[in-house]
Structure 1
């Protein structure tokens, strides 16, 4: 039931083929399977279903009702696209305004094509548009409140993204070319090829720095290097990103910081990590030969359009503050993604878009937004590994995706390939179905009183509590802890307390 599985993903995330590639899948670290062998490869399954949806041209249905409400979304990145998608499912009219010539935000301009093929991203954006969502490109919003009033929008979602690279003041004399990583990745993402010289250094230690260095290497330079002031254990990038960069020939100079530049000579100071985990100078120096420097020191949000918006507040880092319902200090103006305090990842941005759409929907209907309560109502009973009743311990090793060898990574072809259908089926079967009945019939076979009735495939079971004696036979054998036993008062003279069985 591949399409049903895909539609289950689509209830939360309209970009499964994209996120199956770019998400760092922290959910897999919380998978109960890690206590037995390795977590289920959730992102690989998501990618497989997303790719199949593109191949089979599956679409989302139009909303059953039209509310007559209009919402303006600023920014066509992951957060803006997701908010627009969920708002449209609710029946609202949604328009997206995007300053760039292509939709996608940092997915389009910040993530290299060897990680995310552009045709995959384009196909998923086109599906969102096909739901009746309007995306206007090359449209930079200068006066937000005027635009809201002129378009007669009932609410606005801000998802501008962080597209301005941070700078650093380095004493330099006759320095070569200096770029910021965001601009560099944007240019290469648009098909441009900046002239960099033979030796290129990337200054920074985050995932963007790794992407920039790996992109530089694919452009045919003699030497691509990273200069970073901390060591591997204290870098913000994921460890596998550094591993892949080094495998592709990127030379990483750990514990180094640039002091000054004279021509192509970079004077760097050697650092050391103190007991507090922070780098500190040693007074020792070395010289590196570099033709071009790419700064990967983080990004800022352009806030010009917000100058005339009343009620907005910003934290000390310049992020726009929002309440628990994603609303800013200006009534009807919501925000999410990179411009609010949070981790700056596409996955967090998508989560913000989904949450904001839910809160905006309630606000547009004139209801009091109860985000905390609403979220709790939508969360199923959670069971961790210790709550399972695993009377079996199957050893089923995780399926791994094929990838190009480091020697083959000399262009922008996708590096990591997806799992096959057989691998995806096997990977899905590794799931313990924590807390959710998967109809193994164990309880049906274990009950000595015949109190459990099968209702048919996909329908679960029915319990006759008049026959149930609370012997726990069903509960103790249920591998996924889908059965709860609850003590209930009885009015009969037999036991003072009995047990009621509930199957989730």
Structure 2
């Protein structure tokens, strides 16, 4: 469904690189461009786009958008969908899941925000992931194995991403998971209407199907298996145990009040299927995506007209519910320290919760629990607050409100359960790790994901990828490499040339006596420089005037009203149709990489810039420059929409 771009951005869409009065260069250094004797000529510089720079998984987002839109062509015999899937999953093996639930920091970073509206990156990722499941695409894995085996503790997004990456490197692994099924927080922390269980199972199984990945569920390290056994049986150990303890509210008697529970326990009980209804009045304190899940679940499962049990028993899985037909809506309130527009939850999730009938009280902080005669909570007193740095303070004379409650849920943070693993506990119920994800002072031990620092699912996946590279170097007794400044999964022109059968020849094979003027030699890539590991291209380096305002193709959402929400468990996020996914990918501005617009060829007054012959061309090698014709006028760099051309040759 196409939606109109921001009106104010449309009205302001008159971008000009040079303004009235800009007829003189600002410095003597710049005046060299005015002359026809400039020593500067264009070079083609591959840089990282800010979408990828903002992606904690480090996905080559621009790359798979180029594939979906049809600019980068797949190898012979491979479909666009499969090629996009293979490029996407170099970094993230869960495109169907992350396309649905990732809060998409890539979209916040998208340079298109300075034109009209960001590219709907996660909607296209969902299309890629769903197409891969429908097409039955499998992961490729090398037949030759290293003979090494890694123990991975935790079968969530970090653990399974690590199993996937290590298998691609030729290493076997055993995944130890404490729950009955794989998925971690994707399965036990996020409701099924956001993460469809059939697609989650398909993406997990696709990793297991690579072979040499053993799964041991219902197994807890420190209880069922000792650390000493792991150290004896495995060549390396990766801790990806997640954070399964919820942080309580900072009010008196929280821990000893029975009907005060954590969001982690509440959502785990719902997602295991043991909690099918909740208390008549639920109050959740938070403001992030987890708190939205708590209140949305509470509205969906409702309560009973004759409710008589202790709600904490079902919310902590002590009580298992049977199916109940006659439910009534629950009254659900969410409190947050921040204004509505500053909540950390995704904006559309907040709006969905309001539509579903959740009451949201903003800019208030918990002050105290209100108790009944039996010592149970009957309400939560909150007071208006302001933020001082990262801490809330009650407003002087601020209004106090008592919210009646049968169940109070805290969704203000998480920490690990490290029972029986005291040697790994850093004192904050987390595990320390260095920049290469090694556990300090523990040979063979590595860690990734929330147990290092609770954050996004995509962060855990990105950490697992880097940890897997470190483990690979460790297992092969290689020197551990310094990580690049922009530590992402980058487009590799040499791989693309190899895929197209255009590998450069060896230097010795093409060496001539006179090596001046090597542009025609084939031992290197002519006038190209890969700076993607060091530079993220800002919108100021782009020619934004090239891009017309184009409406975004949005996914539709199945969000029930307050009257419809009870018992509504249909998937919330509907996928884009193929035509809409292709159109939305076409809005990508290809920041930092040529997307074959021909501006430089058309506007060059000397015909110095030319298209590379088709038989020698591929993505990233579409144009080149004849330096015998170039006069250094820099017009090509000015009209390059993507910031791919810089005037630098000769410096």
- TM-score, length-scaled by structure 2: 0.69
- Larger deviation, residues 365-374 vs 246-255: 365-374
Give me the whole-angstrom Cα distance separating, in 1, the residues matched to 2:185 and 2:288.
15
Partner of 1:497: none
* 2:612 matches 1:454: yes
For structure 2, the residue ranges without an aligned partner over 5 or more in a row are 1-79, 304-328, 491-531
Are the counterparts in 2 of residues 170 and 261 from structure 1 also a CA contact under 8 Å?
A: no
3-state DSSP class of the match of 2:552? coil
Are the counterparts in 2 of residues 200 and 290 from structure 1 also a CA contact under 8 Å?
A: yes
Give me the whole-angstrom Cα distance separating, in 2, the residues matched to 1:376 and 1:70.
26
* 2:424 matches 1:424: no
Deviation of 1:123 after TM superposition, in Å, equals: 0.6
> Which structure carries more relative contact order (alpha carbon 8 Å, separation 6+)?
2
Give me the whole-angstrom Cα distance separating, in 1, the residues matched to 2:545 and 2:344.
40
For structure 1, the residue ranges without an aligned partner over 5 or more in a row are 490-504
Give me the whole-angstrom Cα distance separating, in 2, the residues matched to 1:236 and 1:439.
38
Deviations 1:38-59 (A, max 9, x none): 1111111101000000000011
Partner of 1:413: 570
Are the counterparts in 2 of residues 144 and 306 from structure 1 also a CA contact under 8 Å?
A: no
Partner of 1:476: 638
CA shift in 2, pair 1:65/1:268, >3 Å: same
3-state DSSP class of the match of 2:298? helix
Aligned counterpart for 2:593 among listed residues 416, 436, 439: 436
- Larger deviation, residues 216-225 vs 414-423: 216-225
Partner of 1:261: 371
Give me the whole-angstrom Cα distance separating, in 2, the residues matched to 1:318 and 1:193.
27
Deviations 1:205-230 (A, max 9, x none): 33212111110100123333235362
CA shift in 2, pair 1:362/1:217, >3 Å: same
Deviation of 1:344 after TM superposition, in Å, equals: 1.6
Partner of 2:404: 289
- TM-score, length-scaled by structure 1: 0.88
Deviation of 1:124 after TM superposition, in Å, equals: 0.3
Deviation of 1:438 after TM superposition, in Å, equals: 1.6
Partner of 1:94: 173
* 2:98 matches 1:19: yes
* 2:169 matches 1:68: no
Deviation of 1:394 after TM superposition, in Å, equals: 0.5
Deviations 1:153-191 (A, max 9, x none): 11111100011223356549x977443221221121122
* 2:280 matches 1:126: no
Give me the whole-angstrom Cα distance separating, in 1, the residues matched to 2:240 and 2:257.
36
Give me the whole-angstrom Cα distance separating, in 2, the residues matched to 1:195 and 1:473.
66
Deviations 1:78-104 (A, max 9, x none): 111111111111111111110100100
Partner of 1:225: 332
Deviations 1:347-368 (A, max 9, x none): 1111111111112112222122
Give me the whole-angstrom Cα distance separating, in 2, the residues matched to 1:362 and 1:170.
49
Give me the whole-angstrom Cα distance separating, in 2, the residues matched to 1:382 and 1:435.
8
* 2:538 matches 1:384: yes
Are the counterparts in 1 of residues 278 and 302 from structure 2 also a CA contact under 8 Å?
A: no
Are the counterparts in 2 of residues 401 and 416 from structure 1 also a CA contact under 8 Å?
A: yes
Give me the whole-angstrom Cα distance separating, in 1, the residues matched to 2:398 and 2:585.
54
Query: Please, what is the CA RMSD of the aligned residues?
Result: 2.7
Partner of 1:181: 263
Deviation of 1:261 after TM superposition, in Å, equals: 1.9
Alignment of 1:323-342 (within 5 A): 323-329=434-440, 330-341=442-453
Are the counterparts in 2 of residues 209 and 226 from structure 1 also a CA contact under 8 Å?
A: no
- Larger deviation, residues 476-485 vs 424-433: 476-485
Give me the whole-angstrom Cα distance separating, in 1, the residues matched to 2:435 and 2:155.
23
Are the counterparts in 1 of residues 299 and 565 from structure 2 also a CA contact under 8 Å?
A: no
* 2:221 matches 1:59: no
Give me the whole-angstrom Cα distance separating, in 1, the residues matched to 2:609 and 2:346.
52
Give me the whole-angstrom Cα distance separating, in 1, the residues matched to 2:336 and 2:639.
54
Are the counterparts in 2 of residues 227 and 256 from structure 1 also a CA contact under 8 Å?
A: no
Give me the whole-angstrom Cα distance separating, in 2, the residues matched to 1:390 and 1:239.
27
Deviation of 1:305 after TM superposition, in Å, equals: 4.2
* 2:246 matches 1:138: no
3-state DSSP class of the match of 1:339? coil
